[in-house]
Structure 1
Amino acid sequence: MKILRDRTEQRQIEIALRERTRALEILNRAGANLARENDLEKVMTQIIFLPVSSTR
């Protein structure tokens, strides 16, 4: 006997969790950049490119 289950909701939750994790990783990197860099222009440049570099 097999029981079929709709996993749509579980998959949607997993996708949302991955997106949330990625956003938190970007924020974490931005915070680390702020903590170690004194040059505001460099910090802003690094933060602007974080989402791009984190997808690689």
Structure 2
Amino acid sequence: MRQALDGRTVMNISTETREILRNYKTVINARRREMGRNRSPPRRLLMKSAIL
């Protein structure tokens, strides 16, 4: 992990991992839309997947 210029913590992940997370986020947000809920911010999705 490293610090971005704006102070956020940034993970160094592979292109394949980034694509998997992007697809995961798309699926989760589609399910949330179907249930009438707002989409989850990417950081929250990452934290939830890290706990699972």
- Alignment TM class, shorter chain as reference: 0.5 to 0.7
Find runs of 4+ consecutive structure 1 residues off by over 4 angstroms: none
TM-score w.r.t. length of structure 2:
0.55
User: What is the identity percentage for the equivalent residue pairs of Structure 1 and Structure 2?
Assistant: 3
> More strand per residue: 1 or 2?
2
> More helix per residue: 1 or 2?
1
**How many residues matched?**
35
TM-score w.r.t. length of structure 1:
0.52
Unaligned regions of 5+ residues in structure 1, if any? Answer: 1-13
Unaligned regions of 5+ residues in structure 2, if any? Answer: 1-12, 48-52
TM-align CA RMSD: 1.9
What CA distance in whole angstroms lies between the structure 2 residues aligned with 1:26 and 1:16? 15
